Amino acid sequence: MGGVTSSVAAKLAFFPPTPPSYEVVTELETGVVRLSGFPHRENVEVLRLPTRRGTEIVAMYVRNPVAASTLLYSHGNAADLGQMYELFVELSIHLRVNLLGYDYSGYGQSTGKPSEQNTYADIEAAYKCLVDNYGAKEEEVILYGQSVGSGPTVDLAARLPNLRAVVLHSPILSGLRVMYSVKRTYWFDIYKNIDKISLVNCPVLVIHGTSDEVVDFSHGLKLWEMCKEKYEPLWLKGGNHCDLELFPEYIKHLKKFITTVEKSPSQRSSWRKSSDQFEPSRKSTDFFEPSRKSIDRREKPRPSTDKSRSKDQKSHNADKLDKFKVSFDQMEKSRRSLDCFGKSGKHIDQIDRGRRSVDRLDRIWAG
């Protein structure tokens, strides 16, 4: 029964682009590996990484010669490396960081099937690559999780006590809380960030749009409130789920955050003191220890913030959760991506242009 539930939940929760937006190409003369559709760049490497769950994921490493930090980026649930490629290159340039982005199992040209537990193994493999292949130190690494990518990001951050920082971009409290306004955590929930965020010891920046129609703004706000080391959050007024990179404040605030966390602890004391309360760092544990098992479940947007918060709706949802009898057909009809790539073709083109246009990003971020 558990296996069937997990399989159905994975189908509802993950939306890898079909077909993938790229192929992995090896040039015969030089042996250089690159993504199709993109010219070879001297500072970009394309890799295949084995995971502890037997899959092989595709990753890309963008090197910046003046970088003092390395960003490990976990993208949303409806994108792949081909769609994120230009954004990753631009972030590396403007933030002056090395950047490793990767595709989850079952995404792009990564093997296997997407699931919560596989994404935990995927990010571990990506982090291991940074340490083993590029000599990155834990205290130099910044984990960046967007939307559903906040799940593997928070999970790994909770097990690495010496990270430089964490960025949560339109994060979720948990998968079930995207669908329902629940008061407690259920065993079948996925990506239980609400239960893990307090275990993260490093500075955390939360970015969220106030008009997010997919993951309500309250998710980002609550996670920020629960952080041990809160950094000044970025609440983008009018920002939705897929357009935050297009706000000038986005790159400016990220730059400020990275500059701050790259300073020595004594230099960072001013903003540390402004946080509510800080506890001593917990002892380091092996970050490869198994994550708590959880049955994958569809992350489905609530149709209305007001309705989901009403007393009648809460009571109704509680009864439904206790019985846990959700119709697969009904959920299938309302399936919708957390990252909006499954909307209209016009909207896909709009997001794609925003991410792929280097000149446009340069103009916005230089503003």
* Number of C-beta neighbours around residue 213 at 10 A: 17
Closest to 166 in 3D by CA, of 152, 178, 181, 182: 152
For residue 125, the SS3 value is: helix
Considering only CA atoms, which of 69, 304, 307 is closest in space to residue 203? 69
Q: Is 212 a catalytic residue?
A: yes
CA 270 to chain centre: 28
* Nearest alpha-carbon partner for 191 in 232, 157, 225: 157
Residue pair 339/169 in contact (Cβ under 8 Å)? The answer is no
Cβ atoms of 172 and 148 closer than 8 Å: yes
Asked if 241 is an active-site residue, the reply is: yes
DSSP 161-178: TT-SEEEEES--S-HHHH
Catalytic option among 75, 208, 219, 241: 241
Tokens, residue 137: 């130190």
Give the C-alpha separation, 145 to 169, whole Å.
6
> Which DSSP helix (H) or strand (E) runs through 35?
strand 33-35
Q: Please identify which of the residues 212, 216, 243, 296 carries the catalytic annotation.
A: 212
- Alpha-carbon distance 315 to 35, whole Å? 49
**Residue listed under structure tokens 């790259």:** 262
Per the structure block, which two tokens stand in for 311?
Answer: 């007393």
Clarify whether 198 is annotated catalytic: no
* CA within 13 Å, CB half, 217: 16
Tokens standing for 262?
Answer: 């790259």
User: Which is catalytic among the residues 6, 105, 147, 150?
Assistant: 147
Q: DSSP states of 291-319 as a string?
A: PPP---------S-HHHHHSHHHHHHHHH
Give me the active site residues, please: 147, 212, 241
